[in-house]
Amino acid sequence: MDFELRILGSSSATPSANRHNTAQVLTLGNQHHLIDCGEGTQMQLMLYKIKHQRICNIYISHLHGDHYFGLAGLISTMHLQGRQAPLHLFGPPGLSEILSLQFKYSGTNLNFKLVFHELDTTCYKKVFEDKSITVHTIPMEHRVPCCGFIFREKLKARPLIKEKLPEFLRPPQLVRLKWGEDIKDETGNILVHNREVTLEPKRSRSYAYCSDSRYKPSLLPYLHHVDLLYHEATFTDELRERATYTFHSTARQAASLAAAAEVRHLLIGHFSVRYKDLTPLLQEAQEVFTATDLATEGSIFSVKE
Amino acid sequence: MDFELRILGSSSATPSANRHNTAQVLTLGNQHHLIDCGEGTQMQLMLYKIKHQRICNIYISHLHGDHYFGLAGLISTMHLQGRQAPLHLFGPPGLSEILSLQFKYSGTNLNFKLVFHELDTTCYKKVFEDKSITVHTIPMEHRVPCCGFIFREKLKARPLIKEKLPEFLRPPQLVRLKWGEDIKDETGNILVHNREVTLEPKRSRSYAYCSDSRYKPSLLPYLHHVDLLYHEATFTDELRERATYTFHSTARQAASLAAAAEVRHLLIGHFSVRYKDLTPLLQEAQEVFTATDLATEGSIFSVKE
């Protein structure tokens, strides 16, 4: 299954000539999960030929405009282009009220079901689950209620080694083997040792999206060993005081978290418009955590199984 | 004084790969008047190097998202970039409520004064006036409350022919001459004939913006002899029934209005995304009214004095 992140916007607060406001598409299998939706997201989706029909869920981290001002337009376009599949929207209190008011005044009755899931941004909580993934919120520390999201593949079944399977096994027993159990007789004696007839399962991949936040070391337990970590890095460390004051982070702080959490790969984004050239931010982060990349418009990051 | 229109968006309903939603900048002297503000307007302003600091007034014709979803983002950017000058916003009932809700949840206290002028979209009414222009609403016929806007220069002073002015004239009399009066003595005898010492004033220019509307011949009295008329032309006449049903107009209908109103120059826009090539719309309009142009992204239309 695909596990691929596409960056649509990397600019904080206001867009700049070459940078859009925050939005990312996480493609899991054949479904797109849209994370934040700054102004112009629907145009960015068009530019990168990402079909909005395949977006199943949209997650909004907080209600600063640079993270959601593209949402009403995108939903309107889905409506006008005939979407019928339900759309699940996860966001903080207030988001549903804003959209409802906008649709009231435009006389819009959506021709698909918009299912709103109000988030408690203060805690770690499972907000979505399907057969292959879970999504949890993680609490950020920002000027308004704000959370991040962790996407994790569920544990995968152990592949069966067909040529080693005894013939007496029936389907329910095969299922148990896939999930790591031994097969026993009625008295508890092991008939088939799991490890002898199965292989190690494929890795379960994970992506953590840390939206706008002051440097917050208490996030560490949530981020431990994730494959891909996005963390905002609005400023270089020279402006650490300004970062603290505005509830943002520096590139060095983002990298420190990545190093301490032993993640595989760090992406930094949400850059202040003052940085025309992003090299200083990247270098600063790489000094602390080598496997860092810039999450700039159009870039794609795949996580292999 | 400059009297110049810049088109920022020409697409109806949804943006397309090359077309943005409706927004136009009318530059009068050194001030910009922004007319409608579809998603992405602030990026289009950047692209064309139009300084949002010089926008004094914003006019929103109606609350369909393709005409105002860029507004909250633009106002946020003005705020974040330190605007202090008041901003006048003209729009239908509901717009102020929507913005207030968005700013409440983002914790935004604007550092400039946003003066909201609620429009009665059902009538012709003066909504703005300064020393050189007036702005009136004109009622459109659309699915939600919607109006257009007419921008008119005020009558201009008659230039004085200095070498022909008698020496006894004092400043208040000169002012009266500039505005077309003769100068008389106490008994009513004409001492100075206005036409002998003044020239014809420069023309007062006008621009009429007809936003989304079903074909509405009753607009004619408002549009008579305007220099520049923008009229939506969502469809070609082949789809006239669809235009009527959706409360939009065809290119032929827009041109018929322009011809009947004897305007100088017609611009058509708000094109359905079905038209990849806009030539059929232009040709159809030009068959009825030759002086027609496409109001496409980036184009500039100046009205000479």
What ipTM, to 2 d.p.?
Answer: 0.92
| pLDDT of the residue at A305 | 87
| pLDDT of the residue at B296 | 98
Chain A residues near residue B77 by CB distance under 8 angstroms:
13-15
Binding-site residue numbers of B for Zn(2+) are 62, 64, 66-67, 142, 212, 270
Residue A284: how many other CB atoms lie within 10 Å: 22
pLDDT at A165 over 90: yes
Which residue from B minimizes the CA distance to A48?
B17
Chain A residues near residue B101 by CB distance under 8 angstroms:
94, 97-98, 101
Strand partners, A4: A27, A302
Query: Which of A12, A50, A61, A69 is best to mutate for the B interface (most B CBs within 10 A)?
Result: A69
HEC profile for A58-127? EECCCCCHHHCCCHHHHHHHHHHCCCCCCEEEEECCCHHHHHHHHHHHCCCCCCCCEEEEECCCCCCEEE
Q: Which candidate from B14, B107, B143 shows the least CB-CB separation from A77?
A: B14
Which residue from B minimizes the CA distance to A108?
B64
What does DSSP say about strands B55-59 and B87-91: parallel, antiparallel, or unpaired?
Answer: parallel
Residue B103: how many other CB atoms lie within 10 Å: 19
Task: State whether residue A46 is helix, strand or coil.
Answer: helix
Binding-site residue numbers of A for Zn(2+) are 62, 64, 66-67, 142, 212, 270
Which regions of A113-227 does DSSP assign to beta strands (E)?
114-118, 125-129, 133-139, 147-153, 183-184, 190-192, 206-210
Which residue from B minimizes the CA distance to A106?
B64
Binding-site residue numbers of A are 62, 64, 66-67, 142, 212, 270
CA distance to partner chain A, nearest, from residue B227 (Å): 32
CA distance to partner chain A, nearest, from residue B217 (Å): 25
Q: Which candidate from B13, B70, B92 shows the least CB-CB separation from A80?
A: B13
Q: Which candidate from A80, A81, A144 shows the least CB-CB separation from B106?
A: A144
A196-233 residue pLDDT tens: 999 999 999 999 999 999 999 999 999 999 999 999 99
CA distance to partner chain B, nearest, from residue A39 (Å): 6
Cα distance between residue A84 and residue A72, in whole Å:
17
B88-114 residue pLDDT tens: 999 999 999 999 999 999 999 999 999
Cα distance between residue A130 and residue A29, in whole Å:
12
Which residue from A minimizes the CA distance to B100?
A98
Q: A with B: how many residue pairs have Cβ under 8 Å apart?
A: 106
A188 secondary structure, DSSP code: S
| pLDDT of the residue at A179 | 94
Q: How much of chain A, in percent, has pLDDT values that exceed 90?
A: 99
Q: Which residues of A are catalytic?
A: 66
Chain A residues near residue B22 by CB distance under 8 angstroms:
none
| pLDDT of the residue at A66 | 98
Burial class (CB in 10 A: 0-12, 13-18, 19+), B245: exposed
- CATH superfamily, domain A3-156+202-302, is Ribonuclease Z/Hydroxyacylglutathione hydrolase-like (3.60.15.10)
Backbone angles phi, psi at B243, to 5 degrees: -60, -50
Strand partners, B2: none
Sole residue written with tokens 């860092």: A292
CA distance to partner chain A, nearest, from residue B172 (Å): 51
Chain B residues near residue A8 by CB distance under 8 angstroms:
none
A45-100 residue pLDDT tens: 999 999 999 999 999 999 999 999 999 999 999 999 999 999 999 999 999 999 99
Q: Which residues of B are catalytic?
A: 66
**Is A42–B42 a contact, with Cβ atoms under 8 angstroms apart?**
no
Chain B residues near residue A94 by CB distance under 8 angstroms:
101, 104-105
Nearest to B27 by CA among B211, B210, B228: B228
**Is A17–B47 a contact, with Cβ atoms under 8 angstroms apart?**
yes
A104-144 residue pLDDT tens: 999 999 999 999 999 999 999 999 999 999 999 999 999 99
Tokens of A184: 């026993």
**Is B101–A105 a contact, with Cβ atoms under 8 angstroms apart?**
no
DSSP string, chain B: --EEEEEEE-BSSS--SS-PBSEEEEEETTEEEEEEE-TTHHHHHHHTT--GGGEEEEE--B-SGGGTTTHHHHHHHHHHTT--S-EEEEE-TTHHHHHHHHHHHHT---SS-EEEEE--TTS-EEEEE-SSEEEEEEE---SS-BEEEEEEEPPPPPPB-GGGS-TT--HHHHHHHHTT--EE-TTS-EEE-HHHHB-PPPPPPEEEEE-S----GGGHHHHTT-SEEEEE--B-GGGHHHHHHTT--BHHHHHHHHHHTT-SEEEEE-B-TT-SS-HHHHHHHHHH-SSEEE--TT-EEE---
**Is B65–A46 a contact, with Cβ atoms under 8 angstroms apart?**
no
- Which distant-in-sequence residues (6+ apart) come within 8 Å of A63 by Cβ? A91, A92, A94, A95, A98, A144, A145, B102, B105, B106
Where do runs of H (alpha helix) occur along chain A?
A: 41-47, 71-80, 95-105, 171-178, 194-197, 220-223, 240-245, 251-260, 279-288
Q: How much of chain A, in percent, has pLDDT values that exceed 70?
A: 100
Which residue from A minimizes the CA distance to B15?
A43
Q: Could you say which residues of chain B have pLDDT below 70?
A: none
Query: Could you tell me the maximum CA-CA distance found in chain A, to the nearest angstrom?
Result: 72
Cα distance between residue B74 and residue B52, in whole Å:
8
Length of chain B: 305
CA distance to partner chain B, nearest, from residue A234 (Å): 15
pLDDT at A246 over 90: yes
Chain B residues near residue A65 by CB distance under 8 angstroms:
72-73, 76, 102, 106
Hey, where are the domains in chain B? 3-156+202-302, 162-197
